[in-house]
Amino acid sequence: MNDMVLRQNILDELEFEPSLNAAHIGVSVENGVVTLSGHVATYMEKNTAADVVCRVKGVRGIAQDMEVRPAGKHRTADDEIAKRALNILNWSTAIPEGAVQVQVEDGWVVLKGTVEWNYQKIAATEAVRALAGVFDVANNIEVKPYLSQFDVKRRIEEALNRTVRVEPSDIQVNVDETGKVTLEGRVKFWAERGLATQAAWSAPGVRAVENLLTVA
């Protein structure tokens, strides 16, 4: 397929998309690589345009050079965008309550925070990108998988096994649902007691360590 035919197919597909106003979108094609220019009223339309192009047969790549120019009902103050973003995030069942923070400046939204799964990070962007007045979304949310009590206990026991001066068979490791670790049992030397504490703190997910080991 030559570039002229591909360009026309893309224009037709953009025009066919009901959720998109393609009147001000420019399309150029070179060797199957598509460049979108012009402007749209919302960030959602900008993303939709890219999605439309990607589904056209023959497209090998895409470059986004479109601007978001909110007009009329799409113009929204930063504080209102922030309020609406927080509200929609709180209503989302995919995102833990209070896990994501929102910062807005001149229509540019920055998402921060920590979630356990990547799908939650993606859901946060999906939730706010359709809001009126949003120019773009930067997703700086970290994904830190939650470790179960069993995982934390196993990792600490493995760390104790790697510490040759400590006899792990003499140490009992207990982990509660809050991430608190309790060490019980006995060691031969005081230094070993300290090594056991270090091993416990080395496991991700640990929030507190109570060392009840005795020296005998």
What are 97-115's pLDDT values in tens digits?
889 999 998 888 999 999 8
Architecture of domain 149-215: 2-Layer Sandwich (3.30)
Burial class (CB in 10 A: 0-12, 13-18, 19+), 71: exposed
**How far is Cα of residue 64 from the mean position of the Cα atoms in its chain?**
22
Backbone angles phi, psi at 201, to 5 degrees: -70, -20
CATH for the stretch 72-143 = 3.30.1340.30
Q: The tokens of 150 are what?
A: 């069993």
pLDDT at 119 over 90: no
Q: Distance between CA 186 and CA 13 in Å, rounded? A: 72
pLDDT at 123 over 60: yes
The domain made up of 3-68 has a fold known as Histidine-containing Protein; Chain: A; (3.30.1340)
pLDDT in tens, 22-62: 889 999 999 989 999 998 888 888 888 988 998 898 898 88
